[in-house]
A and B are shown apart, each in its own frame.
Chain A
Amino acid sequence: EPEVTQTPSHQVTQMGQEVILRCVPISNHLYFYWYRQILGQKVEFLVSFYNNEISEKSEIFDDQFSVERPDGSNFTLKIRSTKLEDSAMYFCASSPRDSKNIQYFGAGTRLSVL
């Protein structure tokens, strides 16, 4: 069964460093998303992406964050200068063309900022 793949599974970085979290959405899906879950808190929406542009973003998604689809298969989340409070599990999701109401999630990348 096709699945959303995220790498790495765990990323450790120093405060102030840039990180790039990578996702390979399900093939032929057209809508892409990033969510995060801080330990013990709710899963929170960050951003959605369609047709090579951001379609929606939350207040969390400030200028420190950016997303990109650099080629036909990858979807990345970049955090420019990480803060301690960016430590969280980051989930990528994707939706097919004919069912954008259904989001399929990856296993997540745990980001630890030291």
Chain B
Amino acid sequence: GEDVEQSLFLSVREGDSSVINCTYTDSSSTYLYWYKQEPGAGLQLLTYIFSNMDMKQDQRLTVLLNKKDKHLSLRIADTQTGDSAIYFCAERTGYSTLTFGKGTMLLVSP
């Protein structure tokens, strides 16, 4: 079945770049997503990439997709303390289903 895997924790210093990695299993996925969840809040859509793209850049965010290896990454440039949150990778499977990873907790220290 479909599965999405992420490392559980990442710690960086303010101003550094953060790279959060994700692997997925469904090769037919058409869209892949990154969501952010701050404490007590819902899932905020950060960015997404269509499966025929290799890269997407949106301000401080860069998404890289390696479809051959089924690997997705999210790079946050100049990470700030306000970026501390849980980041979820998700793939679109089925007609409308999103399959999520367990989330990576990003901790940014001053």
Contact = CB atoms under 8 A, between A and B. Distances in A.
Contacts, number: 55
B22 to A, nearest CB: 12
B1 to A, nearest CB: 11
A51 interface: no
Given A91-B43, A105-B44, A108-B42, 5 more contacts: A45-B99, A58-B97, A101-B30, A103-B98, A107-B40
Contacts of B10: none
Interface residues of A, number: 27
B86 to A, nearest CB: 10
B45 A102 contact: yes
Interface of A: 4, 6, 31, 33, 35, 41-45, 48, 50, 55-56, 58, 91, 93, 95, 100-108
- Tell me what chain B mostly uses at the interface: helix, strand, loop, or mixed: strand
- Interface size band for B: 20 to 34
A55 B42 contact: no
- A interface majority secondary structure: strand
A101 B95 contact: no
Contacts of A4: 42
Nearest to A45: B97
